[in-house]
Structure 1
């Protein structure tokens, strides 16, 4: 019993530290979703001995759960300012949720390498845009037709659920490529985070439920510490410390120029891509 208590204590302490690191980086780079949380949780769970087969989906499922309260709070604030494109959000609602459900089903059967590959591709594209992108990079001055919008929503839902993000990176890219203001893109993305995180977290509980029985010795996967691929300990402990640490990152961010922040975040994403690529190869 003593060993079990020590293991639980170490797991809880690790989650608090992970939350602090996530909040610091989120405040520094102006993101609050899985782009930061997933790699931090990945390294934490790996250090705690979670098997490689379930390491990435556990990180992603926990990240999606963590995004839920922050997405709701962010969306309400943006909505109050009138910055959300509600018509686009309504057009995306059904296809995005359908994409998230499809992604959750894929997560139940997909090999570990698939999650890393999706993260590498999407984060890599974002990094290239941050490092080399220009304001002139756009596809058109107006959004495409409804069918194209819904198809993009479906793809955003699938990819976001396989990355553990709230969809902000993908929807921001989509909207800015079609000449929408970045503030409107960010505001609308906050609503997208709700559409993705809630069904996504539930989907990862479903996807990971039978896997916990295959690893009875891994405490981080077992109830009541986890439900499927969602670490409840991570959910309850990462959020408070990330909220406390975020202002420190924000303060640091304000000491840097916009371009320096873009370069720093771009380099951060490339390093994460490289880390996952190496783990796939070796």
Structure 2
């Protein structure tokens, strides 16, 4: 099933997603998974691989790449003072709990469920980012700590199930609360590391011993694809960071929303065809 030509095709798709995902990771704080997951999903679908495993491998592999991409992106934003360390410390523990829940669910439920979660969440976030108007407030709003904890669990669970770094959920939420869009992007980039490490480990464990996986797979994480993506995504994340700090805030919000809407439409189309 996986001949040399097939592996080369997968490598080419992975390389392209690594470049685009890296730029968007730095630009939008999304970890790159919002590009990598659908790209790997579509590429693996062409190999004749069991559709029940395709989404799990795409999500698990994406989470593994996010560990490194978020480090590169997060460091770039940190150097520009765009990470709220207090918020990161407040939110990280509850996000970690959410990742553990979402990672286990993502490794056990069907691929159709994962695709549906991905498409619906991306569409809701895209509409919010595109349609919301008004400037960022001077003083960010906030919640009580229990509410922050609950939001963190939800954000972590959704991110782990979607195979993304958290920016898809965290950036619009922080921006809605009045955080500067660049600081929202920078903090979300750092959150990607909190999501990627446990998420990838869980997908490795839940997929261990599964039959029909691509060559060089460790559970639901494909090491071959990850090795192609990581050097490119980490390098191009720095390009994204520079762009994030050089374009207008409104343009950054619109870029985020339009991209998510296109991604959601693509996934709904795939879901309808299953």
Q: Common fold, TM-score beyond 0.5?
A: yes
TM-score (norm 2): 0.83
Residue 275 of structure 1 corresponds to 266
Question: Secondary structure at the residue paired with 1:35?
Answer: helix
Q: CA deviation at 1:249?
A: 8.5
TM-score (norm 1): 0.81
Q: CA deviation at 1:23?
A: 4.8
Q: CA deviation at 1:83?
A: 3.0
Residue 141 of structure 2 corresponds to 142
Pair 1:93–1:269, CA change in 2 (3 A): closer
Question: Secondary structure at the residue paired with 1:210?
Answer: coil
Does the 8 Å CA contact 1:63/1:164 hold for their aligned counterparts?
yes
Pair 1:177–1:112, CA change in 2 (3 A): same
Q: Deviations over 1:237-279 (max 9, x none)?
A: 123344667789899999x987677556544433332232233
Give 1:1-282 correspondences, 5 Å limit.
Answer: 4-20=3-19, 22-23=21-22, 32-135=31-134, 141-211=140-210, 213=211, 215=212, 218=213, 220=214, 222=215, 225-242=216-233, 266-282=257-273
The separation in 2 between residues aligned to 1:21 and 1:246, in whole angstroms, is 9
The separation in 1 between residues aligned to 2:91 and 2:244, in whole angstroms, is 32
Question: Secondary structure at the residue paired with 1:83?
Answer: coil
Deviates more, 1:102-111 or 1:269-278: 269-278
The separation in 1 between residues aligned to 2:77 and 2:26, in whole angstroms, is 18
The separation in 1 between residues aligned to 2:82 and 2:62, in whole angstroms, is 26
Q: Deviations over 1:105-140 (max 9, x none)?
A: 1122211121112111221012112321212699x9
Pair 1:82–1:59, CA change in 2 (3 A): same
The alignment yields a C-alpha RMSD, in angstroms, of 3.2
Q: CA deviation at 1:32?
A: 4.4
The separation in 2 between residues aligned to 1:182 and 1:262, in whole angstroms, is 8
The separation in 1 between residues aligned to 2:82 and 2:102, in whole angstroms, is 29
The separation in 1 between residues aligned to 2:131 and 2:97, in whole angstroms, is 33
Q: Which runs of 5+ in 2 are unaligned?
A: none
Does the 8 Å CA contact 1:119/1:163 hold for their aligned counterparts?
yes
Q: CA deviation at 1:29?
A: 7.0
Question: Secondary structure at the residue paired with 1:209?
Answer: coil
Q: Which runs of 5+ in 1 are unaligned?
A: none
Q: Which structure: larger Rg?
A: 1
